Copies of this chain bind each other. A is one copy, B any other.
Amino acid sequence: VKACGLIVEYNPFHYGHVHHIQAAKEKSGANIIIAVMSGSFLQRGEPAIIDKFHRTRAALNSGVDIVLELPYPFALQSSELFAKGAVDTLAQIGVDSICFGSEMGKANPFIQAAYKLQTTKETFDDVIRTYLDQGYSFPQASNKAYDEIGIHHLDMTKPNNILGLSYTKTMMQDDYSHIEPLTIPRIHNEYHQEKIQHSIASATSIRKELHTNGLTEKALSTLPKQSVDQLQHYKKTANIWHQWELYFPFLHYKVMTMEKQQLASIFSVDEGLENRIKQTASTATSFADWLEKIKTKRYTQTRLQRMFVHILTNTSKEEMYQQIHTDSVPYLRLLGMSKQGRAYINKYKKHISIPIITNLKKDQIHEMMLDERATHIYYTILYPEKRIILRKQEFTGPIFSSDYP
Write the residues of chain A forming the contact surface with B, with a CB cutoff of 8 angstroms.
248-250, 252-254, 256-259, 282-286, 312-314, 367, 373, 376-377, 380-381, 384-385, 388, 391
Instruction: Evaluate contact between A380 and B249: CB separation under 8 angstroms.
Output: yes
Query: Taking CB as reference atom, which chain B residue is nearest A315?
Result: B257
Q: Which one, B250, B285, B376, contacts A388 given CB within 8 A? A: B285
CA distance A34 to B81 in the complex (A): 61
Chain B hits for A249, CB < 8 A: 250, 380-381
Chain B hits for A376, CB < 8 A: 256, 282
Query: Taking CB as reference atom, which chain B residue is nearest A382?
Result: B249
Instruction: Evaluate contact between B256 and A257: CB separation under 8 angstroms.
Output: no
Instruction: Evaluate contact between B257 and A313: CB separation under 8 angstroms.
Output: yes
Copy tally for this chain in the complex stands at 2
CB distance from A155 to the nearest CB of B (A): 39
CB distance from A259 to the nearest CB of B (A): 6
Chain B hits for A286, CB < 8 A: 384
Chain B hits for A314, CB < 8 A: 257-258
Query: Taking CB as reference atom, which chain B residue is nearest A252?
Result: B380
CB distance from A405 to the nearest CB of B (A): 25
CA distance A312 to B257 in the complex (A): 8
Query: Taking CB as reference atom, which chain B residue is nearest A286?
Result: B384
Q: Which 9 residue pairs across A and B have the least CB separation, nearest first?
A: A257-B314, A285-B384, A253-B380, A256-B376, A250-B253, A256-B377, A259-B367, A285-B385, A256-B380
CB distance from A41 to the nearest CB of B (A): 13
